[in-house]
A and B are shown apart, each in its own frame.
Chain A
Amino acid sequence: MAKLIAGVTTSHVPAIGAAFDNGKMDEPYWKRVFDGYLPSKKWLAETKPDVVILVYNDHASAFSLEVIPTFAIGCAEEFAPADEGWGPRPVPVVKGHPDLAWHIAQSCILDEFDMTIVNKMEVDHGLTVPLSLMCGKVQEWPFKVIPLCVNVIQYPPPTGNRCYNLGKAIRKAVESFDQDLKVVIFGTGGMSHQLQGPRAGLINKKFDNDFLDNFGPHPEKLIQIPHLEYVREAGSEGIEMVMWLIMRGALDQDVREVYRFYTVPASNTAVGHIILENKR
């Protein structure tokens, strides 16, 4: 049977991707960010997942205002990097796992989470920046990836509680899949940041660190945070943190924190990153 063994959360700042692609990784500003992921790269290389379920938000790349799915799961064989206005990132094509993706879609729908099934989709920095941070420069990604997009742009996005419960449904789905696969789930986005308007640049280290402190031991405190509190306290784009709760819901109540990293800034954003493992 497939087993969901661990979760990773990380910010997915586009400028990190640009620094990575344009050879700026050794500049002190960016080195501070990339160095924070060195232990994580080692952890991932040792953990060797077969499949990563990667929760992120599409930033008006695959989806526009024409169709706005709240939860969309990528069931295709592969996903090409999107052109976000600068040309596609020079990273490998992302290979999917259609068998497991379809299984999760069916299982979640029957569990009353009405997923949108996507058979053709390009993936943007929300998905590829976490892969670059965790894998470095590679000829091909070392695992299959199931993209799971969450709408956090058009209001209202799903609640933290809903995301957390979707994580639980995903866990159930993975562990009822009859192939021996090691699965890791990534929840991406955040932490505090605001990209728009006269309040752009907002950072709230206290909010972020409280979130990190509670994330492993007390997720029940976080799932109650209303949208308004994210916007007010963590900036309009801080709402992305609800996606971390999908990752958290997919793990056991009792988890081991393997690693944590937090730095300000990467461009406009507070970078937060945490790795949790199920204990059993």
Chain B
Amino acid sequence: MSKPDMEAFEDVPGTTLFNAQRSRQGYHLNMFCMSLMKAENRAAFKKDEKAYLAQFPMSEAQRNAILKRDWNEMIRLGGNIYYTSKLGATDGLSFQNLASLMTGTTQQEYADMMLKGGRPVDGNRSKSEWKNRG
């Protein structure tokens, strides 16, 4: 093993692998989320979100995704769920709340899906199986 084959992971639908490129792209976005582990930082962020975000040298697109709470967009731009979930916690959202937002379902629909055994793997293994999704 020398050159890691990261391309193959891109075929898994609805899934973003936190690889080297995304880690570099999302560094400041994720470190902003990390800062929310401190209660005083959460308070400062809530008081003036834009001013707080100005401390972190991230792209405008990343900043907007945070302000709009576009959770999928944050991940597309290099965010990692274990970091963005700290922003979720600041908003009072659990992992399950975030999952319902990222899957475009209501909290109740998502919780019901989980109670019925979760999202099945059949039909969800490859992007080729998602071609006909709207």
Contacts and interface: CB of A to CB of B under 8 A. Distances in A.
Contact of A65 (B30, B98, B125): B30
B15 A228 contact: no
Interface in B100-134: 102-104, 110, 113-115, 117-121, 124-126
A60 interface: yes
A142 interface: no
A194 interface: yes
Interface centre among A18, A82, A200 (most CB of B within 10 A): A200
Contacts of A203: 114, 117-121
A115 B119 CA distance: 37
A60 B79 CA distance: 12
Interface string B1-24: 000101011001111111110010
A154 to B, nearest CB: 6
A239 to B, nearest CB: 10
A15 interface: yes
Given A15-B95, A197-B72, A231 B9 contact: yes
A79 to B, nearest CB: 16
Q: Do most interface residues of chain B lie in helix, strand or loop, or is the interface mixed?
A: helix
Contact of A231 (B15, B82, B110): B15
Given A84-B89, A153-B18, A155-B18, A196 B30 contact: no
Contacts of A83: 37-39
A230 B96 CA distance: 21
A268 B114 contact: yes
Contact of B15 (A65, A84, A194, A205): A194
B95 A85 contact: no
Contact of B86 (A84, A195, A237): A84
Contacts of B34: 60, 64-65
Contact of A267 (B90, B96, B126): B96
Given A64-B30, A197-B72, A198-B72, A233 B121 contact: yes
Contacts of B43: none
B104 A198 contact: yes
B85 interface: yes
Interface residues of B, number: 55
Interface string A192-217: 10111111111111110000000000
Interface centre among A87, A155, A156, A197 (most CB of B within 10 A): A197
Interface string A158-201: 00000000000000000000000000000000001011111111
Interface string B32-55: 011011110010000000000000
Nearest to A197: B14
A154 B27 CA distance: 12
B103 A231 contact: no
Interface string A215-244: 000000000000110011100110000000
Nearest to A83: B37
Nearest to A159: B1
A268 to B, nearest CB: 6
Given A84-B37, A199-B12, A264-B118, 4 more contacts: A86-B89, A203-B120, A233-B125, A267-B95
21 contacts: A60-B33, A64-B34, A85-B36, A85-B90, A155-B4, A194-B119, A196-B16, A197-B14, A198-B14, A198-B102, A199-B14, A200-B99, A203-B119, A228-B8, A232-B126, A236-B12, A264-B114, A265-B115, A265-B118, A267-B114, A268-B118
